[in-house]
Structure 1
Amino acid sequence: MEDAPEPDVIVIGAGVVGLSAALALQGRGRRVLVIDREGPAAGASAGNAGAFAFTDILPLASPGLMRKAPRWLLDPLGPLSVPIPYAPRVAPWMWRVARACSPTRVEAATAAQTALMDLSRAELEPFLAATGTLPMLRREGNLELYESEAEWLASLPGWDARERHGIDFRHLDAGDMAAVQPGLSPRFVRGTFTPGWFSIADPRDYVLALAERFAAGGGAIAVADARALRPDAGGVTVETQGAARRAGQVVVAAGAFSHRLARTLGERIPLETERGYNTTLPPGAFDLRTQVTFGGHGFVVTRLAGGIRVGGAVELAGLERAPDFRRSEAMLAKAARFLPGLRTEGGRPWMGFRPSLPDSLPAIGFSRGSRRVAYAFGHGHLGLTQSAGTARLVADLLTGQVPPIPLRSFSPQRFA
């Protein structure tokens, strides 16, 4: 039996970004091999809230974050926590976040994020149609809730920025909120509804469907832990725990593990792991009609095909520390107070890694060491949202096309 031909491209990572890029490259006629340390939809691509959050153009690195962070950090189970043993390791990354919060940098990051969001939204439905997953798309909007007039007023500059970028929303009082989502606690006095907020029926099912589509088109998926990249004049060798693999080009889309591969090429990219937690309750746990965001508490409640998911928050604790599921329990207890009819029995807790860069923008572009290696990681909370747009950009880069948006703000070398 003859050996299979060497692939044109190896994509490292079988999450939503990696598989979307693999499908886009396959659509350009490339032979693609996807490798992943666990297989398709094994990480954050399975456990996220399922939202295409195209209205989230404001970077997390902002003056608002710096105002809230000290209060949040005092609560070990709150929206943002750093375990004391990990604090020295994450301190340089947090310093970069603080630097990214200057008004000039926030303005530039917002413009770049908006461009990527606009591209991702434009690419989404054609991508879903091409992959047979369009029936999984939902258009149910998002309702952000505020517990006081002061909290709502503090949010208005952010909504003004969204309005300048053409994002549709409307502010609601308590009566209007009840019409959009019945059953809210009276503690919430204001809300903002964004009808252009899409979601997917189930993020895990979606990524598995992409994997099936990729395989049906002749693509191969292998379970292998990529350890190092060795480019040369003729291609790139991917060293794994088993046999080495080789292709003409490589895409690194390995989520929170991507910086380890970049390091083998001599690049130190400040990727940090935001550990997110959630609990998925059985279907029917609440009559949820739109995604509900509790911004002051850092979590959301969303309806999926498999149940009601309560999750979010940020724990900066790296890749090795054991999960602290008290964080899931704390969010679930709050959700029960905020949605008094929520039934909290029978939930499944989960923890996953969000790959995040200090300025809230992903790294999309070529490695400094070789233009045979492209990076596509660091999307933070927005991997699903920006997956179709990122796939378009990666396919353009690797096939010599001019990308439809400037990529300077997403340069992997911008932190050097």
Structure 2
Amino acid sequence: MDNPAPLSQKVLTHTYGLDCEIAVIGAGIIGVCIAIELQAAGHDVWLIDRKGVAEECSYGNAGHIAVEHIFPLSSPATLMQVPKMLLQPNGPLSIRAAYLPQLMPWLMRFLWAGRPVQVRRGTEAIAALNARALPAYRSLDARFDLGGLLVEDGTLVVFESEKNLSAASREQRLLTDFGVETALMDATELKAFDPSLSPALKGAVCFPASAHVTDPAALVRMLASRFTQRGGHIERQAVTGMDHSPTHLGLTTSRDRVRAQKVVIAAGAWSHQLARMLGYKVPLETERGYHLMLDEPTVMPRVPTTYHERRFVATPMDARLRLAGRVELGGLQLPPNIRQAHALMPQGQDLLPDLQAQGATPWMGFRPTLPDSLPVIGPAPRHKGVYFAFGHNHMGLTHGAITGELMRDLIGGKVPGIDLTPYRIDRF
């Protein structure tokens, strides 16, 4: 394990009247990975979050390190399916009517991002992050001990339609070109691999090099604990203002004021509000994601399993089963529609016919999504010492560790191992 930040650095920082060298705003998987990597590199770091560690999207995601998900959400194929998804009762996608007028500019950008040339660029940019996602987690595990929470057993996508299975087999060639390992299973092979799945399924695509986390919130909290044990500081405060001067960055919070040499904005679905304080307008929208956590399920899938046609995922998490996958476009203010979460139970029983549970706990969280499905990672072009790391949409957990490494190198003056041009904030 690396040594904690040198005491001399902390003395120097506080001698100049600053609270810390680097303030990281956001204590989800992205912010915590950035903080612990910066700390391990010798920096004096504070973590600041409005609700605390892993209290938002990082608490309830599906748990996948989804290295196979290299395609942007907006594409000609996806856009053709949107009307059908919206018309389905309890379908995988819904839009809150009250929010539609506010959503329209983002939807127009989303449609524009589906141009073939942009889809190709986006695929390359996502694949570049994905290729280093698992090695980055293995590095975290080797240095900080993730307590067995990272499981590399692969994942499945299962199909109830021969047509969709055939289309997936054609897509395998493109995935292979980007270095994603795949294997096709017919119905007989799938039944032998996991007898708990529905016999009506026609087959599956297996991704043996993918992984999952058995408790995403526990992973983030464990890393945050390692951070504080090494001298890191965590503040539960909302940042309400930000100002930039030649000597420091000032953060006005709900309780105090924090002065730092550098600031990293990694606050997920609230990041665009913080960026706007410095004059950066980012078309970030909120996907409201739902899950249903089942206690003592009578049956579990062998590995995390995505049901292609129903567009949800069942992830084994120790003795519990998480059903996740609903997307609702409705912003940050409207109340959750918990029926979306409960609607996952009958879908789960279609996947796992013998599924029952002793209890079911619904949840809703906010995914930060940009129209082109790429995160913002990099420096602020007009404000020295300000950095951005947000907008990872469905890939926040997947990209947590690699984003931490990239920000560590960028802030430390090293050339990051990935070209950050596709993720710049001024691309819009």
TM-score range, shorter chain: over 0.9
- The runs of at least 4 consecutive aligned structure 1 residues that moved more than 3 Å come to 2-5
Paired position in structure 2 for 1:33: 46
> Aligned partners of 1:327 and 1:204: how far apart in 2?
22
Paired position in structure 1 for 2:97: 84
Summarize deviations over 1:311-362 as a string: whole Å, max 9, x none: 1121010001111011111111111122101114411110001111111110
Distance 1:76 1:358, change over 3 A: farther
Paired position in structure 2 for 1:155: 168
Paired position in structure 1 for 2:4: none
Q: CA deviation at 1:135?
A: 2.1
Q: CA deviation at 1:58?
A: 1.2
Identity %: 37
Paired position in structure 2 for 1:8: 21
Residue 208 (structure 1) aligned to one of 202, 221, 224: 221
Paired position in structure 1 for 2:256: 243
Q: What secondary structure sits across from 1:386 in the alignment?
A: helix
Q: CA RMSD in A?
A: 1.5
Residue 389 (structure 2) aligned to one of 373, 376, 388: 376
Residue 337 (structure 1) aligned to one of 330, 350, 371: 350
Q: What secondary structure sits across from 2:326 in the alignment?
A: strand
Q: CA deviation at 1:187?
A: 2.6
> How many residues end up aligned between the 2 structures?
414
Paired position in structure 1 for 2:196: 183
Q: CA deviation at 1:121?
A: 2.3
Summarize deviations over 1:229-280 as a string: whole Å, max 9, x none: 2111111111112211110000001000000001111111011111110111
Paired position in structure 2 for 1:118: 131
> Aligned partners of 2:343 and 2:389: how far apart in 1?
33
Q: Does 1:357 align with 2:370?
A: yes
Q: Does 1:403 align with 2:416?
A: yes
> Aligned partners of 1:155 and 1:87: how far apart in 2?
33
Paired position in structure 1 for 2:301: 288
Instruction: State TM-score, norm by structure 2.
Output: 0.94
Amino acid at match of 1:169: T
Question: Which stretch of structure 1 is more off in the superposition, 70-79 or 26-35?
Answer: 70-79
Q: What secondary structure sits across from 1:10 in the alignment?
A: strand
> Aligned partners of 1:365 and 1:76: how far apart in 2?
41
Amino acid at match of 2:347: K
Maintained 8 Å contact 1:336/1:344: no
Maintained 8 Å contact 1:285/1:308: no
> Aligned partners of 2:259 and 2:296: how far apart in 1?
45
Maintained 8 Å contact 2:159/2:309: yes
Paired position in structure 2 for 1:143: 156
Question: Which stretch of structure 1 is more off in the superposition, 243-252 or 327-336?
Answer: 327-336
Summarize deviations over 1:75-102 as a string: whole Å, max 9, x none: 3521111011111111111111111111
Paired position in structure 2 for 1:279: 292
Question: Which stretch of structure 1 is more off in the superposition, 159-168 or 10-19?
Answer: 159-168
Q: CA deviation at 1:287?
A: 2.9
Unaligned runs of 5+ in 2: 1-10
Maintained 8 Å contact 2:35/2:45: yes
Paired position in structure 1 for 2:7: none
Q: Does 1:300 align with 2:309?
A: no
Q: What secondary structure sits across from 1:347 in the alignment?
A: strand
Residue 101 (structure 1) aligned to one of 114, 118, 121: 114
> Aligned partners of 2:132 and 2:210: how far apart in 1?
15
Question: Which stretch of structure 1 is more off in the superposition, 75-84 or 300-309?
Answer: 75-84
Amino acid at match of 1:366: P
> Aligned partners of 1:102 and 1:182: how far apart in 2?
41
Q: CA deviation at 1:8?
A: 0.5
> Aligned partners of 2:147 and 2:71: how far apart in 1?
27
Unaligned runs of 5+ in 1: none
Q: CA deviation at 1:162?
A: 0.6
Q: What secondary structure sits across from 1:384 in the alignment?
A: helix
> Aligned partners of 1:283 and 1:344: how far apart in 2?
5
Summarize deviations over 1:132-187 as a string: whole Å, max 9, x none: 11522112211101111111223344322111112111111111111222122233
Amino acid at match of 1:211: A
> Aligned partners of 1:325 and 1:76: how far apart in 2?
15
> Aligned partners of 1:180 and 1:101: how far apart in 2?
36
Summarize deviations over 1:380-410 as a string: whole Å, max 9, x none: 1111111111001111121111111111110
Maintained 8 Å contact 1:61/1:359: yes
> Aligned partners of 1:306 and 1:261: how far apart in 2?
39
Q: What secondary structure sits across from 2:302 in the alignment?
A: coil
Question: Which stretch of structure 1 is more off in the superposition, 55-64 or 372-381?
Answer: 55-64
Q: What secondary structure sits across from 2:222 in the alignment?
A: helix
Amino acid at match of 2:37: A
Residue 314 (structure 1) aligned to one of 306, 327, 331: 327
Amino acid at match of 1:8: E
